[in-house]
Structure 1
Amino acid sequence: MVDRQLSPGAARDTDAPDPHRWRALAVCLVAGFMTLLDVSIVNVALPSIKSGLHTPASDLQWVLSGYALAFGLFLIPAGRLGDARGRRAVFIFGLCLFTVASAACGLAQSSMWLVIARLVQGVAGGLVSPQISALIQQMFRGAERGKAFGAFGTVVGISTAVGPLLGGLLIQAAGPTEGWRWVFYVNLPIGVLCVLLARRLLPDTPSASRVRLRELDPLGVVLLGAGVFCLLLPFVQAQQWKGDGKYLLLVVAAVILAAFVAWEARCSAGGTQPVVRLSLFTIRSFSLGSSLILLYFAGFTSIFFVSTLFLQNGLHYSALLAGLAITPFALGSGLAAAIGGRLVSRFGRPLVAVGLAMVAVGLGGTAIAVHQVPGRGVGWAMAAPLLFAGLGSGLVIAPNQTLTLSRVPVDTAGSAGGTLQTGQRVGSAIGIAAVGSVFFAQVGKDGWGTAYDHGLVVSIAFVVAALIVALADVIAGKASRKS
């Protein structure tokens, strides 16, 4: 996934091709696979974590949404830090931190310990991810760069597809009580190997220099993080905090996010690079595409969350069987992504709209299917609608990124790509919080099946909202062509 453009200084880092570039790319891809895998692999471990650490529902949500939020908030500052201080140095530091945080997750003795370790792990993932795209741009030129980015895109798709399945295999092998720890421990040998190879193979950044903290817009990061945290908190704590007073935090969130927008506008006017460049949102394709993908990630990421809980806790599937049951969605997404990449230049935003409609229909079919087949046969009944939804998903993510960035000036492409990825991660955190709060509210009242239905309805609502945004872009595009 292309999320950054090389700065003018970095473009002159080297004229001759790096002789180690393909081996260095392999190191980058393995590191990217590891950090992105931790978005999805933990889903099937949640029931084991719940029983092993006596984790409340709210902490389970933070195990997932906390990682996604921390990951997203550090993407843009980390990319700027890598350009300024050296991509290899930031890459290696991020990998070391990720490996240590993974060990801390595996050693967790309480749910609070695990949540904090996951937040640190998310920060580390946010440090590593933008360096990969920047290193690809630094090491490769011309057609080779396209092949390298294509390989990275494949890794992104595979990491999503194999996450639940790999997590299920690890828990099956290590046992349901302590197996969840190996979901994190598996990162340790991979992380150590990547650090050793990165020190040897990754190139320096000759244009690197000292950077002052204020140039990374720390206040912007804090304001955005605090605003989203206040937005999530009343939903994550919905079952623990009784009464409606908790929803006053939404007003606090609105005030903080308004302050964030005002600060970012001041940064842009004063010449300081902000976390989010607000001028990008004057470009219709970017503003609508960013809104669309935030809403879509809120809907589609939460599907894995509630599905694994329903299958494992409600139907007593093993972690492996739960991972296998969800795999059709990921396989369909991976298959359609390659097709969508070739078709987007021909069909444009209507292709994304078709994909979103397929996801909504597939999720609706999944909700119906779980009531048509009694008992443990539900996994088979879910396969076809989840595959259909996955095929639709493959027509959304990559094509939307291409269209969203299509009108962005080259000199702001790095900031635009980082902003887009930040929206994806923030959307994931919001979706898990919102869908999880509805899901857990229904479990105690009407059982796991009804809770799953309600959770899917919220996921579908997010997807339909994204579809409305896509249709608005299609209509606006037709109107502009006529005028």
Structure 2
Amino acid sequence: MSSGPDRATSPQHREGADPRRWKALSVCLVAGFMTLLDVSIVNVALPSIRTGLEAPQSALQWVVSGYALTFGLVLVPAGRFGDMYGRRNAFVFGVVLFTLASAAAGVAGDPTLLVVARLVQGLAGGVINPQVSGLIQQLFRGAERGRAFGMLGTVIGVSTAIGPLLGGVLINLGGDTDGWRLVFYVNVPIGILAVALAYRYIRPTAKEQRPRETMDPVGVLLLAAGVVLVLLPLVEGHEWEASAKWPSLLGGLAVLTAFVAWERRYGRRHQPVVDLSLFRRRSYALGALVGTLYFAGFTAIFFVLTLYLQNGLGYSALEAGLATTSFAGGSAVTSLFGGRIVTRLGRPLVVAGLVLVAIFLAVTALAVHLVPGTHVAWAIAVPLLLAGLGSGLVISPNQTLTLSEVPVAGAGSAGGVLQTGQRIGTAVGIAAIGSVFFAEVASSRGDYATAFQHSLLVTIAFVLVALVVAVIDVIASRRPSHT
């Protein structure tokens, strides 16, 4: 192999040595934090939105699910666009659009305008996030790349967990009627600053010279249709009857099958929107599956915990948010640490993290059983902290390993595929775990503690399946290579 000389002389290596790369990363992470925060922060704002806008339940559902739907819809084509035409341009466009949509959401005078603004916010978030992972691939190499992905993992973990807390603080500041508006307004100054700093610190890259390459419009449309048909019945949750969900899910799977067939055919002559050869790389295929399964369990924890504390125990939005901070703190610490050591330890580090998460989520369920009532937040603080420590060893190390063999030229679209899997996993997890939670509340006539415990068991099941996949990857990596 000639990786040494190539690495020393390639444009990518010179970009990796850019003295502004850490400042560029900080800009990307701030914008990424802003978009991922909006996945969870709105949950605690729903009562305030209902009061302030007299919004019906259907509109509230779309405020949450519409963002997730459009976010997942554009991840892959947006990553592809950034690969082709420059990641800084795509990043800045996404941040500008997200900032404008946030301002529009904050001034919305009726539920319909708020839903439309949230849909646009989701689209913008889906444009931003694959550029972040693509820029990390572009700017960093070796152990530095692991550290950069470690910081990204911290952002993912903390933004998901701290959203309810920050939302509670802002609602307390703004009041029950208009506090929800601050949840959106807070993005505006951050977005303006991110755009200014992006032009200062993120160096533009020349467009790749690929004369026969296009955006693969047929592939983009097929993928978009398939993702919508799969995600829509999942993000709508209990608003859809079961009989209405299955035709959409099956139709989505059929369209995605057609998408795969098209990409194989199109890829014989052109660069497809998704390079299916990526899935022949064990590290990418199994890593993407681990991420999808883990996000199915991980993000649903805060959904059901917030419902348990607010609806079941009467906690305020701020108090419910505080209960999630121990998980966020643990995740932040080990994400940074995991990013530093992942290049030395590899997938066994992810295995260790999954084991910790599974064990201490089980301890959390036990704590709820032993200490029922309003003091439960104290009882679960330590096990959630330890579960968070495990989570930090999963998210960023897994992302680093999954993208480690991906060519930089396709880093955006590969990252988009990875994040689309995570979004689908999130939707599947919330749908499955939420269904268990609501069914248990209904059957037990309001026993929220039991509903939360049973929900955690489903969460643990997702984590354990992810653990099995990670172990398979470890075993396979130790077999002698015959290539």
Band the TM-score falls in, shorter-chain normalisation = 0.7 to 0.9
1:215 match: secondary structure: coil
- 1:182, distance to aligned residue in structure 2 (A): 1.0
Residues 401 and 27 of structure 1: is their aligned pair in 2 closer, same or farther, counting only changes over 3 Å?
closer
**Equivalent in the alignment of 1:250:** 249
Distance 1:183 1:67 in 2: 14
**Which residue is 1:398 aligned to?**
396
Q: Is the Cα–Cα contact under 8 Å of residues 373 and 381 in structure 1 kept in the other structure?
A: yes
Query: 1:104: how far off?
Result: 2.6
1:122 — aligned with what? 122
Question: Which deviates further from its counterpart, 46-55 or 445-454?
Answer: 46-55
CA distance in 1, matches of 2:467, 2:455: 19
C-alpha change, 1:475 and 1:17, in structure 2 (3 Å) is closer
Please give the secondary structure, in 1, of the residue aligned with 2:374. Answer: helix
Q: Distance in 2 between matches of 1:21 and 1:252?
A: 44
**Could you report, residue by residue, the CA deviation over 1:200-246 in whole angstroms, capped at 9, with x for unpaired residues?**
6654444479999x922343333333323333444455544446354
Residues 471, 34 of structure 1: alpha-carbon distance in 2 compared, 3 angstrom cutoff: same
In the TM superposition, 1:362-441 aligns within 5 A as 362-408=360-406, 412-441=410-439
Distance across 2 between alignment mates of 1:254 and 1:434: 18
Query: 2:201 & 2:234 partners in 1: Cα distance?
Result: 45
2:266 corresponds to:
267
How far did 1:157 drift? Answer: 4.9
Matches within 5 A, 1:165-244: 165-199=165-199, 202-207=202-207, 215-237=214-236, 239-242=238-241, 244=243
Distance 2:455 2:380 in 1: 15
**Deviation of 1:249 (Å):** 2.6
Partners of 2:404 and 2:205 in 1: how far apart? 28
Tell me the distance in 1 between the aligned counterparts of 2:218 and 2:323.
Answer: 43
How many angstroms does 1:379 deviate by? 0.9
Shift of 1:421: 2.4
Contact 1:81 1:211 in 2 (8 A): no
Partner of residue 465, structure 1: 465
2:106 counterpart of 1:106? yes
CA contact (8 A) 1:328 1:383 kept: yes
Give the corresponding residue for 1:283: 281
**Residue 32 (1) aligns with residue 38 (2):** no
Conserved? CA contact 1:90–1:127, under 8 Å: yes
What do residues 52-101 of structure 1 show as CA deviations (whole Å, max 9, x unaligned)?
Answer: 45666666555444434433432332233234444443333222210121
Contact 1:161-1:334 at 8 Å conserved across structures:
no
2:352 corresponds in structure 1 to 354
Q: Sequence identity, in percent?
A: 61
Pair 1:462–1:94, CA change in 2 (3 A): same
Alpha-carbon contact 1:329-1:386 (below 8 Å) kept = yes
User: How far has the Cα of 1:124 moved from its partner?
Assistant: 0.8
**Distance in 1 separating the partners of 2:17 and 2:204:** 14
My pick for the range that moved more, 468-477 or 46-55, is 46-55
Secondary structure of 2:267 counterpart: helix
Q: Distance in 1 between matches of 2:464 and 2:207?
A: 45
Question: Structure 1 residue 324: deviation in Å?
Answer: 0.9
When normalised by structure 1's length, the TM-score is 0.84
Supply the AA of the counterpart residue of 1:462.
F
Q: Note the 1:159-170 alignment, pairs <5 A.
A: 159-160=159-160, 162-170=162-170
**CA distance in 1 between partners of 2:140 and 2:465 (Å):** 39
User: 1:362 offset after TM fit, Å?
Assistant: 2.0
Q: Distance in 2 between matches of 1:473 and 1:27?
A: 33
* Count of residues in correspondence between the two structures: 474
Q: Deviations over 1:417-459 (max 9, x none)?
A: 3322222223223322333333334434432334323432332
In structure 2, the residue matched to 1:323 is 321
- The SS at the match of 1:363 is helix
In structure 1, give the amino acid aligned to 2:369: H
* Partner residue in 1 for 2:292: 294
Q: Partners of 1:465 and 1:116 in 2: how far apart?
A: 37
Give the Cα separation in 2 of the matches to 1:58 and 1:293: 30
User: Residues 408 and 143 of structure 1: is their aligned pair in 2 closer, same or farther, counting only changes over 3 Å?
Assistant: closer
Matched, 1:75 2:43: no
Deviation at 1:252, TM superposition (A): 1.5
User: Paired residue for 1:44?
Assistant: 44
Could you tell me how far 1:153 is from its partner in structure 2?
Answer: 5.4
**CA distance in 2 between partners of 1:408 and 1:83 (Å):** 13
TM-score (norm 2): 0.84
| 2:93 aligned partner | 93
What pairs with 1:11-26 in structure 2 (closer than 5 Å)? 11=11, 26=26
Retained in 2: the 8 A contact 1:58–1:237? no
SS at match of 1:459: helix
- SS of 1:178's equivalent in the other structure is helix
C-alpha separation in 2, matches of 1:58 and 1:460: 30
- Structure 2 stretches of 5 or more lacking a match? 1-9
Gaps of 5+ in 1: 1-9
Which whole-Å CA distance do the structure 2 matches of 1:331 and 1:160 have between them? 12
Cα contact 1:232–1:433 (8 A) shared by 2: no
Deviates more, 1:254-263 or 1:415-424: 415-424
Letter of the 1:457 partner, please give it: L
Contact 2:353 2:392 in 1 (8 A): yes
Matched to 2:257, the amino acid is: A
Q: How far apart are the structure 2 equivalents of 1:236 and 1:76?
A: 19
Report if aligned partners of 1:65, 1:430 keep a CA contact under 8 Å in 2: no
Q: Find the residue that maps to 2:314 and give its secondary structure.
A: coil
Deviates more, 1:276-285 or 1:230-239: 230-239
Distance 1:137 1:351, change over 3 A: closer
RMSD between superposed Cα atoms in Å? 3.7
Residue 310 to residue 88, structure 1, CA distance change in 2 (3 Å): same
